[in-house]
Amino acid sequence: MGRVLEVVRKEPFVGYLRRDLLVPMGMESSNFAPTVATRDRVAKAIMWTLHGKEFPAPTFELGTAPAGCMVSTVLDLGRFASVLFAGGKSGEKVILEKKTLEAMWRPQFVPAGTKEGFGLGFSVSSWNGRRRVGHNGAIYGFATDLSMLPDDKLGVVVITSCDCANAVSTKIADLALEHMIAVKAKKPMPVIARTSSVPPEMLTKAGRYTSAKNAFDLRASAGRLYFHPAKGGFRVEMRLHGKSLVADDRLGQGMKLEPSDKGFILGKDEYVLMPVKKPEPIPATWRGLIGEYGWDHNVLYIHEKDGKLHALIEWFFDYPLERESEDVYLFPADFGLYPGEKLRFRRDKTGRAVEVEAASVKFERRALDGEDGSTFRIKPIRPLDELRKEAAKATPPEERGTLFRKNELVELVKLEPTVKLDVRYATTNNFLSIPFYASPKAFLQKPAAEAMVRVHARLAKQGFGLMVHDGYRPWSVTKMFWEATPKHLRVFVADPEQGSRHNRGCAVDLTLYDRKTGKPIEMVGGYDEMSDRSYPDYPGGTSLQRWHRDLLRREMEAEGFAVYSAEWWHFDYKDWRKYPIGNVTFEEIGAK
C-alpha cells in the first residue's frame, strides 16, 4: 500500500505521510524515517535471551517503513487516538471521514464462533462489554500497545523498551482502561492482583506433567519456576497467586495452574507428574544440523528435544519440525508464526550444515570456537609475560570489617581418590594457551570439598563421577585472566578488584565422567568456552546433553552449591563469603 501511495502521489511515501497525515494530527515527533532529531531521542532498548543474556537492541532501519518502523512518542500516539475519537477530525480539518473510520473498525475476517477479528489496520474485539479497537506490535527492543474504547472516548498507549514484552504492555493497557472507566463512572478503583515469588518448597514441583492430550515441563532455575509447553511455543515464568501458579512474565500473563492431588489443572485437563527417562542419543544425520544460525541480533537455534528436531526462532518461539527429506523440514502446520513453511539446510562435504533457509530467509551458520570439541582460545589483549610480572607484584584488595574463617584448604584427590582431575591451567590446554599452575592439583575449603565428595558418591549410583578442572585459584592468576581478556568476554572471568570465589577456595569448575570408560560426558558446550552455549539455561544442543548438564547442576545444588549464571561448570559453595581472598601458591599450600 505504501508503494501504491508513492505511485499515485508521485512522491516518496515518508514525506507524503508526514506532511498530509502526521503533522495535521499534531504528531510533530513522529516520522517513518529517522532524522537527526529523532535519532538523539530514541530510547535505549534491550534484547534478551532465554538463557539470561541481555544486550542493546540494534538501531538500523529495517527498510519496511510502510509496514511499521514509525518513530513516535506516547503523547503523539495519544493525539492519534484523540483524532479517531473526534470522528477523524483534527481541529477543523477532516483527516478521515467517519464512515471510512467505521469501515476500518469493521472486522474483515471473523474466526468461527467469535465476534472478534481484524479490520483495516486495527484489531477489533469486545472487552468487558465494550467495543475495543487498537493495534499492538514489536520491533527489536520495543513492544507497543495502542488500545481504544471509541464509544467511551478512552484510550491508552503503552511502550516498553524491552524486546518482545507485549504481554506486559497489554496487561498495563488493560489495567489502565479498567482504572479510567472506574474514574469516569466515579466508582472505586479496581484492585490490582499481585503475584509473589515461588517459595523454595514449590521448586520441587519441577518435572514433566502430562494429560491425555498434551504435556508441559516445569523447570526450576535460580529460584524461579518456568512453564515450557512440550509441543512448542514459548516459556513463561510462573509465580504464586493464592495457591495457584500464574504466568507473570514478559512473554505471557494470566495462564493459571491450579494444584490438584496428582499435579495441576490447566484449563479443563488434569496434568500428572510423570518420570522422565534419560534421553536417547540423536540420529547421526542431525549432528550436522544442530547449531546456531543468523546474526547477533537474531539467532536461530536448531536443537533436539523429545526425539524431534526443533527450531527456536526470534529468540523465544520454539517449534517442533516435521521431516520432509534429509535436509528439508517443516514448521508446524497448525500454529505459530510460520505455519507449514520450510527450513532448507545446505551442508558442506563433511555433512555439516553451513546455512539454513527458514521461511524464505537465509541464516548462515554462526562460527563458534570450540563447537568441534577443541579447546576454546582467545588472543590476549596484552602480552602474558608482562601480565605475569605485574600480577606477581600486585596485592589483593584489602578486606575490612569482616571476621573470616581460617583457611582449611584440602586437596580433593586426597579426600576422594576416584575424583578425576583435568586441571587445564597447569598445561597449555586452556583459553590463554599457557600454564598458570606449577602442578595439576585442585584444592577446596574443607566444607566445600566434603559437600562435593557427597555429590560424587551419589552420582556413582547412576554410573557417573566428578571430573574437576579447577578449585582454589590464587588471586594473581585471576588478575592475569582479567587483564588478558577482551571487555566483551569478561562475564566469563572475575574482576580482581572484587576477588573470585575461586580465590576464596569455595568455587569449583567440574563436569561429569563415565565410571565405565573414564571419559568426560559430552555437554552442550565445552569447559571455559566463552559463548552463549556456556550459560546453564542455554536451550540449544541435544536433550541428552542438557539432561547431563541439568543432572550435574541438580546434584551440586542439593549440597549447597549454586551454579554461576554464565557457566554451567562453575559452582560456588554457600559459605564463600566466610573465607578471605587468597593468593598463596599450590606449593605453599602443600608446605603448610
Taking the domains of the chain in order of start, what are their residue ranges?
2-184, 200-274, 284-364, 386-591
H or E stretch including 302? Answer: strand 298-305
- With 80 as the cut, is the pLDDT of residue 234 above it? yes
Residue owning grid cell 489502565 = 176
What is the Cα–Cα distance from 552 to 509, expressed in whole angstroms? 11
H or E stretch including 470? Answer: strand 464-470
Encode pLDDT of 433-473 as tens digits. 999 999 999 999 999 999 999 999 999 999 999 999 999 99
What is the Cα–Cα distance from 229 to 260, expressed in whole angstroms? 19
pLDDT: which is higher, 95 or 40: 95
Is residue 237 within 8 A of residue 244, CB to CB? The reply is no
What is the Cα–Cα distance from 582 to 324, expressed in whole angstroms? 58
CA dist 270 → 235, 259, 274 (Å): 20, 9, 12
Encode pLDDT of 485-544 as tens digits. 999 999 999 999 999 999 999 999 999 999 999 999 999 999 999 999 999 999 999 999
Tell me, which fold does domain 2-184 have in CATH? Beta-lactamase (3.40.710)
How many CA atoms, within 13 angstroms, populate the side-chain half-sphere of residue 481?
27
Residue owning grid cell 539446510 = 345
What is the pLDDT, as a whole number, of residue 70? 87
Grouping H, G, I as helix, E, B as strand and the rest as coil, residue 464 is: strand
Q: Average of pLDDT values for 206-226? A: 94
What is the Cα–Cα distance from 161 to 327, expressed in whole angstroms? 38
> Taking the model in full, what pTM does it have?
0.91
Q: Which of 340, 335, 378, 334 is nearest to 358 (CA)?
A: 340
What is the pLDDT, as a whole number, of residue 45? 95
CA dist 113 → 109, 123, 127 (Å): 12, 17, 16
Q: Does domain 284-364 have CATH number 3.30.70.20?
A: no
Is residue 444 within 8 A of residue 416, CB to CB? The reply is no
How many CA atoms, within 13 angstroms, populate the side-chain half-sphere of residue 73?
13
What is the pLDDT, as a whole number, of residue 255? 95
Q: Which of 333, 290, 334 is nearest to 308 (CA)?
A: 290
Residue owning grid cell 533457509 = 357
What is the pLDDT, as a whole number, of residue 113? 66
What is the Cα–Cα distance from 118 to 115, expressed in whole angstroms? 10
Lowest mean pLDDT among 104-113, 399-408, 563-572: 104-113
CA dist 44 → 48, 160, 482 (Å): 13, 10, 28
- With 60 as the cut, is the pLDDT of residue 591 above it? no
What is the pLDDT, as a whole number, of residue 61? 80
Q: What's the full length of the chain, in residues?
A: 592
Instruction: Name the DSSP letter for residue 363.
Output: E
What is the Cα–Cα distance from 451 to 467, expressed in whole angstroms? 15
Q: Does domain 386-591 have CATH number 3.30.1380.10?
A: yes
- With 80 as the cut, is the pLDDT of residue 592 above it? no
Confidence band, pLDDT 50/70/90 cuts, at residue 188 = very high
Report percent pLDDT > 90 for the chain. 84
What is the pLDDT, as a whole number, of residue 560? 96
Which residues are paired to 352 by β-bridges?
none
- Tell me the average pLDDT of the chain: 93
For 72-231, strand residue ranges (E) read 89-90, 93-94, 117-118, 123-127, 130-139, 142-149, 154-160, 207-210, 215-221, 224-229
